[in-house]
Amino acid sequence: MAYPEHLKNHLRQIAEKMGIDISEMTIVKMSPGTDERHKDLELLQGSWLEERPWIILDDHDHIYTLTTIESLSQMVRFLTSAQSENFQLKLEKAIWQRLPVDFHDVWEVAMDRIRTLAQSRPESTVVNLDLDWLLNEIKQKYPNLFYHIDQIMAHTKE
């Protein structure tokens, strides 16, 4: 099937991101149907039985995808996991920057505080939590959990 050049380039980029060759893609043309509630689908390339996401082109050259609920669920799980891992790495970095005496103790206090905040403010997201604020709060409440540079410097001068 011959596509306009701008569309072909865009489809090539999509195929590259999906890790497949453009010739392996299932491409469907969606046209206006008999009324507002109906659309006509024309298979341009690939197979109706293909398990990969279908690429759907409308009559304005907008590109859509159609995928299985299993694939969508897997993407959501992956993104949730990546988001959680990213948050944990940011928390770990924020803790180490404050020179903990025992990293795991600070981690447990931080996670306990995060759980409390999540329960008290269900409308907010933990991922957007200001970690500087959180750790400063923990450092003020539990100063024994952190080394204090000024104290260390004072001991080295003595």
Q: Is residue 79 part of a domain?
A: no
Q: Is residue 126 part of a domain?
A: yes
Question: Mind listing the pLDDT tens digit for each residue in 120-150?
Answer: 876 666 567 899 999 999 999 999 999 987 7
Q: Is residue 24 part of a domain?
A: yes
State the pLDDT at residue 118. Answer: 84
Number of domains into which the chain is organized: 2
What's the farthest any 2 CA atoms get from each other in the chain? 89
Q: Is residue 104 part of a domain?
A: yes
The CA–CA distances, whole Å, from 24 to 7, 46, 47, 114 equal 16, 7, 9, 46
pTM score, whole prediction: 0.67
94: domain range?
84-157
State the pLDDT at residue 12. Answer: 84
Per cent of the chain over pLDDT 90 is: 47
Which residues sit opposite 27 in a β-bridge? 45, 55
Q: Is residue 108 part of a domain?
A: yes
Same-domain status, 91 and 150: yes
